Amino acid sequence: MTAYKPLQEVAYEYLRDKITNGGLEAGKIYSETKMAKEIGISRTPFKDALVRLSQDRYIDIIPSRGFCLHVLSEEDINNTYQSRIAVEGFCSLYLHMHRMERTARSVIRDLQEDMLEMEQSISESRPYAEILNHDLNFHARIVRYSGNKEMIRLYESYNHQTFDIAMKTFELSGRPGNALDEHREIYQNIISDEISSDMDVYRSVMKHVDNTREIVLKVLEAEKKTPSAFS
């Protein structure tokens, strides 16, 4: 039997998938009424879904007009990357604390494979999208190992929000290689048996995410000054 989903949840998942798959255009205002009709849902649950999408920073609601895709601000970036440190720092520490267990060892092997594939992609000058995909897989495995659905949801949300600009950071000279080195540091701390390794795990995640945040802010500032510079 198919599990019943509230209409609000149906609308939320439909729009979120449409956004993440590039089905909505940046800068375009969409009609709430037309979109609700498109999926055969009444306006009340659809509006509830829009409010949730707005809270998750997928969209901006424009009163009496509709909604549009959310554009990241400097405040968004700072908040997002601070949240990343909290979520990924905890999840990395959790993996470290359970590193001797069978499931954790399997995840650790996968992390090593992600780093090897990322290294090969960089050395062969493969497309930045492919390199970034290996980068994201590394982070996603760590978060998903926690089994915490709320943390996984947060990770997926901020990962979507920053994907495009993260791609642009990888176009900067040396960044993919530096990101890989930072992954290696996180990995070594996760598997370490040193007494100080608990704090070293968290610090290495903080260092990596904060370095990324600073680069993203520089890219954002450059785009404001010269919109075509990173297009």
The tens digit of pLDDT for each residue in 58-108 reads: 899 999 899 998 888 889 899 999 999 999 999 999 999 999 999 999 999
At residue 4, the pLDDT reads 60
CATH no. for 7-69: 1.10.10.10
> Which two tokens mark 10?
């149906």
Could you name the CATH architecture of 74-225?
Answer: Up-down Bundle (1.20)
Classify residue 179 by burial, with Cβ atoms within 10 Å: 0-12, 13-18, 19+: buried
In which residue ranges of the chain is CATH 1.10.10.10 found?
7-69
Who has greater pLDDT, 163 or 68?
68
* Spatial distance between the Cα atoms of 119 and 122, rounded to a whole number of angstroms: 5
At residue 3, the pLDDT reads 55
User: Per-residue pLDDT for 2 more than 70?
Assistant: no
What angle, 0 to 180 degrees and rounded to 10, lies between the N-to-C axes of helices 128-145 and 149-170?
Answer: 160
At residue 161, the pLDDT reads 73
In which residue ranges of the chain is CATH 1.20.120.530 found?
74-225
Which runs of consecutive H residues, i.e. helices, occur in the chain?
Answer: 7-20, 32-38, 43-55, 74-97, 102-123, 128-145, 149-170, 175-191, 197-225
User: Per-residue pLDDT for 199 more than 90?
Assistant: yes
For residue 26, the 8-state DSSP code is T
User: Per-residue pLDDT for 228 more than 80?
Assistant: no
Residue 225 CA, chain-centre distance (Å), reads: 26
Q: What is the pTM of this model?
A: 0.78
At residue 1, the pLDDT reads 40
